[in-house]
Amino acid sequence: MGSDINIEKSKANVPDRPVRDDSAAHSGRVKIKNRRQGPRRSLLTSRLTRNIFLSNMIGLLILIVGALAMNRFQEGVIDTKLENLRSLASTITTVMGEDATGYGSAAVLDVDNAMQVLRGINVPENWRVRLHDRQGLELADTEIMDQAITVTSLDPIITDILTPKRQELWREKVENWIGDVLHNLPWRQKRRVSLRRDLKSDIRTALEGGEMLGQRYTEDDTLIVTVSLPVKRVQQVLGVVTVESRDVEAIINAERKALAPIIGLAFLATLLSSLALTLFVTRPMRKLARAAEIVTQSSDKRDSIPDLSKRRDEIGDLSSVMRDMTQGLYSRIDDIANFAADVAHEIKNPLTSLRSASDTLRVAKTDAQREKLINIIQQDVSRMDRLITDISKASKVDANLARDTAQTLDISEILDNITEFYEQTRSGDSAIVRNITTLNPEAPVFIRAFETPFAQVLRNLIDNALTFSDVDGEVRLNVELKNTGEKELVVITVDDDGPGIPADNLDTVFDRFYTQRPKGARFGSHSGLGLAICRQIITAHKGRIWAENRRGAANEDIAGARFIIEVPRQTFGGPQKSKRKRKAKEIKKAA
């Protein structure tokens, strides 16, 4: 009856088998089918490549546009021109006011003397000086005043017309295109319209006694800098002198041409840097992506991830991490496959025994035979229950470690608590558990560990040692410190007085489902997963665990088994260390 109840409970504890949802599976297949499989972009059409080129080119274009626009340089040239023009116009009006306005109370502008004054002034090239009377009529213009005829010899007739080089033609086309683009910018067009020249308005302002100076645009969109000043005799305005310059755009264009080689070098440098970034960033990323795609499609190509660790940068780190991750995933896959095979093998043995016992039970003739078979069946059921429980624990170790949070633990406190637990729960037919640690209690030793899993390791080792120890034997726990030069390790040993471990099995004892039953132990009382779980947990703590045999006084006979754990010690400095010491003292006082 009790057996039936246990069976019903175990059935109740079995989780429901997941039901396959065909609709969900179908939708999943549709998503996978529609999703782009693997990297299909070419190197030149890669979005990362485009971003690299655009990010480099945007800054360069801003600099180029700013350099070609040359607003500050143009303003400086215009200001300088205005000062020079105003100086010349002021000189002309002063001289005319003194020498070309007649004598007496009725001042009149003397045109002939005024023209003599203009002829005596050296007007620079591309400068123009005009004189207007009080009615705004033009009296003189330096562009048409010089009536001299220059006679020079003609150049020889060129019989062979030289064809310009293709490079010069391309350069001229590019310069013209850049000039047209800059000239036709919307804000430049608006600016030209707002600064359109009105000569009559400038003359009217000067005739009223004011000054007009600034930049203007002619009808053919030529930039000029002009100054208009009145010609005065005392306070009487007799005419207007207008001085203008048309060489501002020529100066700016010359500067732009001088910047062309620098812009070309900057563009070439940007292009080369973009190509370098593409080759050193985009191309390795594509190689990693393609290698990852190959790995996902084939389980035979585990080393397909390229080794770029020699780069010593983030991509090299990514390559190393991806290689380690791939190896870890395949190791986990292999472990799962081997674990499943081991589980099937271990469960098959009690199942076979159960089948034989149940078949034999049907033909059993005596009550003694039936009782014996029922005992065998109960033992096999208990063995399967223990196997399934331990298998469940082993399969959940990694998940529990991932969910748990590591803590700073005092190793002496852990051993004291475990020793006290075994003392309180000890029965008369088991060995004694003793803590023989001799560390200074004033200097506690801390480790960074998951508290529950780490305690489970110690309990598994102690339970294993108790199994192989006699009634009058001892299981001894000890902690020592080991300095390797690079780091300090905490070494924990668990010793027993049992028969020891065969030399060939010192490493295989940590394999799953490995069991070595002590003499007289009941069959099926060990699942063979305890030590395997211990190694799994210690590995997660970045430590290691191994087994060895203790020798007697003559160093010949085996005195027992010893399991050794090494984990990194957590060190603190300064105030943090003192704080830990105070906390350890408070814990001891409270205990």
Q: What is the CATH number of the domain that holds 206?
A: 3.30.450.20
Q: How crowded is the C-beta side of 268, counted as CA atoms within 13 Å?
A: 6
Alpha helices in 445-493 (DSSP H): 451-468
Alpha-carbon Rg for the chain, nearest whole angstrom, is: 50
Which among 266, 295, 324 is the end of a domain? 295
pLDDT at 11: 37
pLDDT at 493: 92
Q: Are residues 254 and 336 in the same domain?
A: no
Q: Are residues 329 and 422 in the same domain?
A: no
The Cα–Cα gap between 397 and 402 comes to 9
Q: Exposed, middle or buried: residue 506 (CB in 10 Å: 0-12, 13-18, 19+)?
A: middle
Residue 302 lies in a domain: no
Which among 349, 383, 402 is the end of a domain? 402
What's the number of domains the chain is made of? 3
For residue range 12-40, list pLDDT tens digits in order.
343 443 444 444 444 444 343 444 444 44
pLDDT at 162: 65
Q: What is the mean pLDDT of residues 550-567?
A: 81
Q: Are residues 501 and 382 in the same domain?
A: no
Residue 7 lies in a domain: no
Residue 35 lies in a domain: no
Least confident of 23-27, 120-124, 404-408, 424-428: 23-27
Q: Are residues 397 and 408 in the same domain?
A: no
Which uninterrupted H or E stretch holds 446? Answer: strand 446-449
pLDDT at 34: 47
Residue 528 lies in a domain: yes
pLDDT at 45: 59
Which of the pair, 302 or 414, is modelled with greater confidence?
Answer: 414
Residue 155 lies in a domain: no
Residue type, 486: E
What CATH code is carried by the domain that includes residue 504? 3.30.565.10
Least confident of 169-178, 196-205, 362-371: 169-178
Q: Are residues 418 and 384 in the same domain?
A: no
Task: Please give the angle made by the CA atoms of 322, 323 and 328, to the nearest 5 degrees.
Answer: 95
For residue range 344-367, list pLDDT tens digits in order.
766 777 788 888 888 888 888 888
Q: Are residues 108 and 134 in the same domain?
A: yes
Q: Count CB-CB contacts under 10 A for residue 551.
A: 13
The Cα–Cα gap between 415 and 462 comes to 11
Range of the domain at 391: 307-402
What CATH code is carried by the domain that includes residue 327? 1.10.287.130
Q: Are residues 481 and 359 in the same domain?
A: no
Q: Are residues 208 and 316 in the same domain?
A: no
Concatenate the DSSP letters of all residues of 510-579 into one string. Answer: GSTT---PPTTPPTTS--S-HHHHHHHHHHHTT-EEEEEEEE-TTS-SEEEEEEEEEEEEE---THHHHH
User: Quick check: 134 pLDDT over 80?
Assistant: yes
Average model confidence (pLDDT) for the chain? 76
Residue 244 lies in a domain: yes
170-181 as b/e: b if 16+ CB within 10 A? eeeeeeeeeeee
Q: Are residues 409 and 267 in the same domain?
A: no
Which among 355, 386, 402 is the end of a domain? 402
Q: Are residues 392 and 409 in the same domain?
A: no
For residue range 260-269, list pLDDT tens digits in order.
777 777 778 7
Q: Are residues 264 and 393 in the same domain?
A: no
For residue range 152-164, list pLDDT tens digits in order.
777 776 666 667 7
Residue 3 lies in a domain: no
**Percent over 90 (pLDDT), the chain:** 4
Which of the pair, 314 or 564, is modelled with greater confidence?
Answer: 564
Residue 258 lies in a domain: yes
Closest CA to 414 of 379, 444, 382: 444
Q: Are residues 365 and 316 in the same domain?
A: yes
pLDDT at 563: 92
Tokens of 230: 């009145």
For residue range 279-298, list pLDDT tens digits in order.
777 778 778 888 877 777 76
User: Quick check: 433 pLDDT over 80?
Assistant: yes
